[in-house]
Structure formats: C-alpha cells, structure tokens
Amino acid sequence: MRARGILVNRKSAIPLHRQLTSALRDAILSGRLTPGQRLLSSRELQTHLGLSRNTIVDALGQLHAEGHLVTLRGVGTFVAQHVYRRPEDKNESKSGVVPPPATAYLSAQSLAANLHETVPFRPGVPALNLFPSAQFKRSFNARDWTCRLLDYPDPLGYEPLRAAIARRLQQTRGIACSPDQVLVTNGAQAAFMLIVRVLLKKGDLAVVEDPGYPNVRATLMAHGARILAAPVDWAGIDVGAFARRRARVVYVTPSHQYPSGAVLSLDRRFALLAWAEKRGGWIVEDDYDSEFNYTDRAQPALHGLAEGGPVVYVGTFSKVLSPALRIAYIVVPPALRDAFTAAQQVTGGTPDAIVQSALARFMDAGHLGRHIAKMRKVYDERRKFVAAALSAVPGEVFRVRDSRAGLHFIAELADGIRDDEVSERAARAGVIVPPLSSYFHGKVSRNGLVIGYAASALPDARKAIAALTSAVSAVENRAP
C-alpha cells in the first residue's frame, strides 16, 4: 500500500488518530485500498506519514475493531476480504433504480450551500469563536429536568423559553404577544416549512423578494405555490409590484433584506400592511438578524406596527448565538394557534427540550442581552473596517451598500464584471462571497458580492480584501 492520498491536517481540532482512521477507512470504502491488499507496516506508515507510533497504532486498532482490517501474525496487515465498497456513482444502487425525489425543488443545488468551514466573509454566520460557552454550559441545570421536561415535549416548546422569548420581543421589538403565541421550532427553516403547510395549498400565489432568500423560495415551490417575485430596491420590497394581486402570503425580511441588506422604509411597511388588510393576504416577517442594528433608530418590527394584523413573525437564535442550536420561533396569530400546534405535532419539529431549558436559563440570567450588546460592538467595528477598506480600493472597484444593520452588506461591482466569476475566483483563494446575481428568481438586475463581515477578525478581513481585489482584477483583465 502506498501512503499517497492519505492526508491529515495538523492544524485541525480533530485528533490526528481520528483523521488517519477516517482517511484510511475512506480509502477502503472507496476501493482505493482493495480487499486483500497489504498495508504498510506501522513503522513504514510512521515514516511515510510523519506521524507518531501511537497515532498509527490507535488508527489501525480502530479499523481492526470495525472489521476493515485483519492481521496475520508475522505476515502483515491486510484489508479485510468482506468489506463493503461504497458505490462510485451516487446513483448506483443494488437494483440500479433510485426512487426520484417527490419534488425537483428540494435538490441540494437549488438551495444555498451551507456546509463550509468558517471562512472569511461567508454571509449568515456569527463569530462562533466568541460564543459564550462558559455561561451556556452553566445554563444546563439538572433541576430543570423534571419528569414533565423529559416526557414527550409540548409541541409549542418549553414554556419558560416561550415566556423568555415573549418578554424579549416585547422589550426589544415592540411585539406584544403571550407565551402561548410563541412556537419554538428547529431553526427558522423548520418554521418556514410549518408556515407553508398551514397557510398554503398547492397553486396558491406567494410573493417573495427578488433577489431573495432561496431556502424560502424553494420551500414554497416544493409545496406547489405559484411564485410572484417582487423587485427589491434600496428601500426594500416594491409593494406596488403586487398591490393589485390577491396573494396568499408575502415573505419579507424588512429589518435587513436578504441578501441586499435594504431596510424596508416606513411608508412601504404601511403599504404592505394595507395590502394585506385589503387583499386578505398573510405577511411572513423573517426578522433573522434584526438584533444587529448599528444606528440609533432601528425600525420597529412589522408585527408591532400591525397590532394584531395578519403578520406571522419568525425569529431565530442562529445569528445571535449559533446556528448549531437549531432554535427559532414563530409568533403565531391566535386564530392560527391550533392549526400550527397540530402541524407541529405531526412534523415532530420541536427542538431538544434540554437545550431549550438551558437557553431559557441563559436568557433569564441576562446572558443573551449582554452577549448581543457585546457582539453588536464587535460587528460594528468589523463592518466599519471592511466597508472603509473596500471603498478605499483604488479604481472604485467596490461600491459598498451598507445599511448599518445585520451581519452582511453588498459590495456592488462595475457593470461588465461578472459577480459569479469573481465569487468563484475568490472561493479558490478561500474567501466565500456569494454573487448577488445568484439570489435572483427573475431577471438579474444587479451585480455584486454578499460580504458577511461578522465572523472575520480584522487581520483576516484585511487578507480577504486583498484576495477579493485580486479576484476582481483577474476577471477584469480577462473581460473582452
């Protein structure tokens, strides 16, 4: 066996023996190491891979235990004869027939790619290295783990958490709601699935923002909704584009439009509420990163303005704490509470009650408020730094459109410089900046990059800006 292709990363947090185990297992399952093939001795592996003897012995021991390797005393170690080989082609299965998915809109390609390492400028991620681990850990308290908590969960969510969310919404977003109206979900994405199930039937018209959040668009399309993509400008969604239409729902991100960053103007907020009243539509307000506003006058939530009007409000802990928690919530209008509870019961989308209980304690102790206040300062500094540095690149390469809210902004590119090409080149240099054009449903009318500045410390941001500038130059020089 040659050691080529067996790679380990010394900088990774994953221990070396675990990395080596999975690299070898992968080589066996993919057929690069074939049944009966002899492995190098542990001493030879040590030399070829530059790893310690303990690391090699641990990894080989694990693969023996899994049945992937056999050792013949005095002869050597071999790949076991009976190992399962992973099909090369993902479509290859025993019968050769792969059941097709029920809907074409739920393919990975149709949705935003979510799984990356923490890399500079990737939008949508907070600074995870500043997660308040100590306080969160202390919030797990066995006294909360009563028989009631350990039983099948309340489909609305853990009551003390719902109460803490209701209090916070009242204080920070002007939303008056009772804990009974708060429904805790497995991230905002599960909230959207639920909303679509409760509010729409196949063929109903749904208005979305264009450019807009692809995951919600895909959820609606998967449910068979007809889509009306309304244009977005720097004052948010153009309500006039659907004012005369009778749509069942309109999905909006008023605090910080995703991805353009526009904040919905007050007159459009009122126009939207008037539309909903007149046409009998529901407004789905996604307030995903509203906690981060760097002006002294943040706009109130639509839900607060509507005073009991037809608004279904969605918030999430993904941006203020961590997306790994998978905890978000819907403020459900009282008239729909039973329908939402029943839908939640059948989908089983309630998050882990033990984590919910920790989050409730964390909020009640004031940690969430303090963490948000601290992060607002950190993000504001990063935002100002990145905006100023991009604007200072000679030749007006980037035009920053910063609405002083959220965790990202748009850097527009000059006409003729394709944002998808710049984005691809930047990705090769390790900087993830999705092209604005990729968020359009209809005709692409703007050209830019979505810059998520929140997770990048200033030295990393500086390097990323240099890489981005080179990516633009490379595309510019290639342009005819």
Ligand X SMILES: Cc1ncc(COP(=O)(O)O)c(C=O)c1O
Alpha-carbon distances, residue 220 vs 44, 201, 354 (angstroms):
56, 10, 31
Taking the C-alpha atoms of residue 291 and residue 83, their distance in angstroms, rounded to an integer, is: 51
The Cα–Cα gap between 203 and 221 comes to: 10
Q: How far is the CB of 162 from ligand X (least distance, A)?
A: 17
Closer CB to ligand X, 150 or 324, in the complex? 324
Which CB atom, from 170 or from 215, has the smaller least distance to ligand X? 215
Nearer to ligand X, 56 or 315 (CB): 315
Least separation in angstroms between residue 121's CB and ligand X is 14
Nearer to ligand X, 253 or 357 (CB): 253
Q: How far is the CB of 119 from ligand X (least distance, A)?
A: 15
Binding site for ligand X (CB under 6 A): 124, 187-189, 213, 253, 258, 286, 288, 316, 318, 323, 328
The nearer residue to ligand X, 285 or 421, going by C-beta atoms, is 285
- Cα 23 to Cα 63, 77, 272: the distances in Å are 11, 17, 54
Cα–Cα distance, 112 to 427 (Å, whole number): 15
CB-CB contact of 382 with 409 (8 Å):
no
Closest to 200 measured CA to CA, from 407, 343, 397: 343
**Cβ atoms within 10 Å of 148's Cβ, excluding its own:** 12
**Min CB(259)–ligand X separation in Å:** 8
CB of 408 to ligand X, least distance (A): 9
CB nearer to ligand X: give 27 or 359: 359
Considering only CA atoms, which of 232, 226, 222, 218 is closest in space to residue 249? 226
Output the smallest distance, CB 63 to ligand X, in A. 36
List 314's β-bridge partners, or say none. Answer: 286, 330
Of 79 and 199, the one with the shorter C-beta distance to ligand X is 199
Spatial strand order of the sheet with 205-210 comes to 182-185, 328-331, 311-316, 282-286, 249-252, 205-210, 226-233, 236-237
Least distance to ligand X, CB of residue 316, Å: 3
Nearer to ligand X, 83 or 435 (CB): 435
Q: Count of alpha carbons within 13 Å of 443, Cβ hemisphere only?
A: 2
Q: Which C-beta is closer to ligand X: that of 285 or that of 402? A: 285
Nearest Cα residue to 24 out of 75, 51, 59, 67: 59
Judged by DSSP in three states, 378 sits in helix
Nearest 5°: phi and psi at 240? Answer: -60, -25
**Shortest separation between residue 137's beta carbon and ligand X, angstroms:** 22
Question: What minimum distance in Å lies between the beta carbon of 74 and ligand X?
Answer: 56
Contact indicator for 55, 17 with CB cutoff of 8 Å: yes
The C-alpha atoms of residue 366 and residue 363 are separated, in whole angstroms, by: 5
Angle at 361 between CA 114 and CA 366, to 5 degrees: 90
Task: Give 208 or 389: the residue with its C-beta nearer to ligand X.
Answer: 208
Least distance (Å) between residue 218 CB and ligand X: 13
- In the complex with ligand X, the residue whose CB is nearer, 144 or 209, is 209
Contact 283, 311 (CB under 8 A): yes
Q: Least distance (Å) from ligand X to the CB of residue 62?
A: 34
343/172 Cα distance (integer angstroms): 29
How near is the Cβ of 54 to ligand X at its closest, in Å?
Answer: 39
The enclosing H or E element of 57 equals helix 53-65
CA 147 to chain CA centroid, Å, is 33
C-beta of 261 vs 310, nearer to ligand X: 261
* Tokens 């959820």, residue located: 219
Which has the closest alpha carbon to 127: 135, 118, 136?
118
Structure tokens belonging to residue 439: 């968020």
List of E strands, 186-299? 205-210, 226-233, 236-237, 249-252, 282-286
